[in-house]
Structure 1
C-alpha cells in the first residue's frame, strides 16, 4: 500500500492540491501498479474532502474503488458518515497499539477502547465499508506493553476486520526487533493479514521492511521518495528493489520501470527535493565518479551490482571531476562521438582534475570547451561567437535594458534592447543581431539556477539552460558570481554550438 497521499503529505511544508492528488493516485494504481493507496485522513478539511471525492469518483468508474483507503478515527458515526459522503469504501481505523498511548492520550481502559472500536467497525460494516485497523505506536507497545497488544489482538480477531496494520509510528525499531515482533504475531495469529508500516527516524526503514517481510508480514506501507513526518517513511523504490533482489519467495505487482517517473512527479508537485544520493531515484546513484570504477566497468563490469539503471528506466553516467581518471573521460567522449589521441586525452584529464580541485562542476556538455581550451584547437566546438562587451541596467520604475557588442565570425555587431529582466533584455538584443543575419535562435525551454549550500553572498552561481532546436534538446551551463553573467556565458556556449 502506498501512503504518499496520506502519511507522505504529513511531510513538513507539503500539501497537494485535489488535482495533484488525483494525478498521483492514477499513476500509482495504473502505471506503478501498487495494490492499494491510502489517500487522506477523514475530517481534515473541505479541500481534503473534495480531493477524496475526485479520486473515489475516478476509482469507482475504473474498477479501483476497493483499492482506495482513508484513515479514520474512533469517533462514533463521524468518520463513517464522512466516508459515505466522500464515496470511499475502505477505512483504516486509527486505534491505540500501546498501553502508554491508551492511558495518557485517551485516558481509557482497554475494555472501554475495545468497545468503542467494535462499535465503529460494526457501523462501517452496516454501511458497506470495509475496515482495516491501525495499532498506533505498536512497536513501543510490543517493547513495553506486549500483554496489552496481545489482549487487543485477541479482541480484533473476533471482529470483521480485513487487515491489521502494524506501524512503527516513531521509527524506533531495529531490524532484529522488526523481525521478532512481526514473526511472533504471524505465528500466533496464522489466519490474520498483517501489514507493516515503517518510519525512517534511524534510517532503518528499508532494513526493517526487509526483516518484516522475512518474518511473514503480508503487506507493506511505503511512500514515494520516503516522504512522511519527521525523517519520513520507508521509501517505495528502495523497498521494492530490496524485495525483488533479496526475498526470492515474495513477489509484488509494482513495475520498477515506473518508479523513477512517479518519483519525479511527486518531487515536482510537493517541492520536496530528492537528495542526489537517494538510492534508486537520486540523480547521482547511477553515476560513476572514480576513474578506477569506470575502468572496471569496461573490464567485465567489475563495479556493477544488481541495481542496474535500466531496471528503473534510467542510464548509467560517468561524472567528471578530480577523481575521474582517463576511463571516465573516455566514456563521455565516446557518447559525444569525439576521439582523442592518448597524449591529448592526458592533457584533457589533467585539466578536468584542476577544475575538480577548484570545486567546479564539470559536465559532459563542457567537454568540447575544455578540449578547445586545452588543445588550442577547434576540432570539437569552434569559438566563432564571442560576447565582447555589454552594459546591463536595472533602475526603479524603468524597464531593464542591455547594450550588447558581439563578434560573429570576425564581424562585430552592437545592439540595444529592453526586456522584462536583464537577461530577457540581453536575449532581445541578441535576437536583433541574429534577425539581421536571418538566423533563428533555439527556443529556451528551461532555465535553472543553483548556488552552493549555505547561500553566501560571494557564492558562485551556476545557470543551466535547456534549449530546443529542430526537435532536439541540449543544455549549456555558465558559472559566475553574477546570475545574469552566468546565463550570458551559458548563452554564448549555445551560440557556438549552433
Structure 2
C-alpha cells in the first residue's frame, strides 16, 4: 500500500522556538519537497501575517505537483485568507478533546460540531480541498471523535487526520485508535508530536492500524520536542514495513535535511538517525572490520540509499582494517609494521583527549613512513630567557650531519625567538613558515600542546607537528621536523 506524505516543515516546523524563515527560504524548501516526491505541502498559516501570506503566494505560483495547503481554524476569516493565497486546500484544525472544547474555546461539543460543519461547507463552496484535523484527538472520546469526522465527511471533507497534539500515544494505543477509525470512507492521516520520543514509532503503528497519510517535518523540527521526523519515518517505511511504500526519492533525503538545517539554524544532533553526521560513521575496530568485509554486518542500510557516504572515524577504538581503508583513500600505501605504528600513534594522541582528524593522520603517516630515514637536523637543546623587562631570547643547540651548532635569536615572544634562532642558520635559508597553529589537548596548566605548522621551500609545502607539555619545545620540534622533510624531498 502506498502511504502519502503531508510535510508541515513550513508551518508546524517553523513554530520551532527561534525559527523564522524568509519567503525565499520557504520557496527553496518547498521546491525541494516537491522534487523529492511529497504529495502535500502545508506552506504556512495564512492568518499569521502579511509576510506569511506573501510566502504562501510565492509557493502557489510555482505550479508544483504537490498539493499546497494552508493551516486554518474553522473560522471564515482564516479560510478567506487561505483563498487569497490561492492554495489548493486547507488543513482545517478543529479541537475535539473536552479540555480544548471547554477550557480553550469555552464552548460545547454540539457547537463545536456545528462550527466544524459550517467551516467545511464554506471551504467546499469555495473550491478548496479539505483535510479536517482533529486537534488533541488522542485525548478525545473516540465516539465523539468519530462523530466529528462523520459529520465532516458528510459535508464534503476529503481527508481526515488524527492529531496526537501533545505526544501521549504509545505504539500500542496508536494502533488501537487508528484501527477503530479506519472504516471511515475517506483517507485518514496521522499527525504526531515527539514529547515522549515516540512520534516515529506511533506513526508507523498508525500506518499498521489503517492510516494512509502521514504528517512530518524535516529533521523532526517543531514546537517543544518536535514532530514526526520525515527522514526517519520515510526510510523506516521503506526498510522496515515491506507491505507499505512512499513516493519519496530517498536518495535525496540528506540534501533536503541539510537545506532545512541551514535555513532554520536548527542544529542536527550528530547521532540522529539517517541524517546525523555519525549515522554512518564507524570507529570501533570490530565494526570497521565487519563493514569492510560486508557492510550489512553493522549497517541496516547503505549510506548511499539516503545520499550519504560511509566514514571511518580515527580514534582509540579503531582497528587496523578501518585505518588502512582510510589511508588508502588518502593515497598512502603502508606495510603491516607501518600500519600498526600509525595506529599506535593515533591511539596515543586520542588518549590525550585529542579528536584525531585527517590532518593528524597525514602528519602521523608521513612521520611513520619516513621514520627510518636519517634526519639531517637533530634538536639537542633549547634555552629561553624571558620576562617583563627582558626581550625574549632563545639559544638552540642542534646537530647537523654530526656537526654541533649553537645559535641564538630574539623575538616578540619565546617561540618567535626560538624559531628566529634557527632561521638565522644557513641550512634554514629559503624556508618560509606559512602557517602556525596551536591546540591544547588536555586541560590544566600541564596541558599537552599540539603545534601544527606548514613550511614552504620553492613550490614544495609540507606539514609537521610537535606535541609536548612545553609549547616552545613542541614548536621547535615541529619546525625542525618540517625542515627535515623538505630537505629530504
CA RMSD of aligned residues (A): 4.0
Q: How high is the TM-score relative to the length of structure 1?
A: 0.75
Partner residue of 1:396?
none
Distance verdict in 2 for CA 1:215–1:357, change over 3 Å: same
- What's the secondary structure of 2:154's corresponding residue? coil
CA contact (8 A) 2:120 2:156 kept: yes
* 2:248 paired with 1:254: yes
Match 1:53 to one of 54, 57, 60: 57
Distance verdict in 2 for CA 1:305–1:38, change over 3 Å: same
Q: What stretches of structure 1 move > 6 A for 4+ residues in a row? A: 404-409, 455-464, 475-481, 493-497
Distance verdict in 2 for CA 1:459–1:218, change over 3 Å: farther
Shift of 1:87: 1.6
Shift of 1:227: 0.6
Distance verdict in 2 for CA 1:480–1:166, change over 3 Å: farther
Shift of 1:303: 2.2
Shift of 1:460: 11
- What's the secondary structure of 1:220's corresponding residue? strand
* 2:358 paired with 1:367: no
Show CA shifts across 1:335-378 (max 9, x none): 11212222221111111112222221112332120123455549
Written as runs of structure 1 = structure 2, the 5 A alignment for 1:65-214 is: 67-75=67-75, 77-141=76-140, 145-187=141-183, 189=184, 191-214=185-208
Partner residue of 1:35?
39
Distance verdict in 2 for CA 1:346–1:97, change over 3 Å: same
CA contact (8 A) 1:95 1:133 kept: yes
Match 1:15 to one of 12, 20, 35: 20
* 2:332 paired with 1:327: no
Q: Distance in 2 between matches of 1:477 and 1:91?
A: 61
Q: Distance in 2 between matches of 1:3 and 1:478?
A: 52
Distance verdict in 2 for CA 1:147–1:247, change over 3 Å: same
Q: Distance in 2 between matches of 1:271 and 1:479?
A: 36
Which is worse superposed, 337-346 or 46-55? 337-346
Give the unaligned 5+ runs of structure 2: 1-5, 378-408, 414-418, 453-462, 470-477
* 2:217 paired with 1:218: no
Partner residue of 1:263?
257
Give the unaligned 5+ runs of structure 1: 393-403, 416-425, 431-449, 465-474, 482-489
Partner residue of 1:26?
31
Partner residue of 1:237?
231
Shift of 1:285: 0.8
Distance verdict in 2 for CA 1:51–1:196, change over 3 Å: same
CA contact (8 A) 1:83 1:89 kept: no
Shift of 1:411: 2.4
CA contact (8 A) 1:11 1:229 kept: yes
Show CA shifts across 1:42-68 (max 9, x none): 21112111111111112xxx254x611
CA contact (8 A) 2:270 2:279 kept: yes
Q: How high is the TM-score relative to the length of structure 2?
A: 0.77
